[in-house]
Amino acid sequence: MSRAEFIEKLRIALSGNVNINKIDENIRFYNDYIDMEVKKGKSELIVLEQLGDPRLIAKTIIEANKVAGNVSEEKEPIYDEYEDSTEHSSKSRFVFPRLNALLTIVVVIMALLLLISLFTTVISFLAPVLFPIFLFFLIYRIFQSFWR
């Protein structure tokens, strides 16, 4: 595959899934990357082989933009024949939202435990004072009911 074919496949796979500015940014990045690797002495063909399929790269870019909230939801991405081979990589992209939900649950549980411990601490400090007062009023009510 030539550089032009690689760039064109990448552009097509990103079209409709990522805004035009992100498409241009990624095309420039991969063009610059290929130029830089060729300047280091690698052949363009080797660099393109190392990069892999542009549709898989596009899938990664689309998923990263979904997480960042920069995706156009107009149509489905074009990488259906590679879905099975990249199943593990697409699942790993959604670890952060699940981590945030788990973190939220942990924070809520910690807050509840803090409130419970605060309540029990206050009760334990007030019990020696409140219990005798409560007992006094209870005895007072009992005697008051007998005298009437």
Does position 146 have pLDDT exceeding 70, yes or no?
yes
- Closest by alpha carbon to 95, among 52, 54, 63? 63
Does position 3 have pLDDT exceeding 60, yes or no?
yes
pLDDT band at 70 (very low <50, low <70, confident <90, very high): low
Tokens 């959604």, residue located: 94
Does position 103 have pLDDT exceeding 50, yes or no?
yes
Q: Where do the structural domains in the chain lie, given as residue ranges?
A: 3-93, 94-148
Does position 77 have pLDDT exceeding 80, yes or no?
no
pLDDT value at position 110?
95
pLDDT value at position 84?
42
Give me the percent of the chain exceeding a pLDDT of 90: 25
Vertex 13: Cα angle to 36 and 97 (nearest 5): 90
State the chain's mean pLDDT as an integer: 80
Mean pLDDT, rounded, for 107-127:
92
How many residues in total does the chain contain? 148
Q: How many CB atoms lie within 10 A of CB 53?
A: 19
pLDDT band at 99 (very low <50, low <70, confident <90, very high): low
Helix (H, G, I), strand (E, B) or coil at 137: helix
Three-state helix/strand/coil letters over 38-72: HHCCCCHHHHHHHHCCHHHHHHHHHHHHHHHCCEC
What does pTM read for this prediction? 0.47
pLDDT band at 147 (very low <50, low <70, confident <90, very high): confident
Give bridge partners of residue 18 from the DSSP assignment: 71
Of 14-18, 82-86, 117-121, which gets the smallest average pLDDT? 82-86
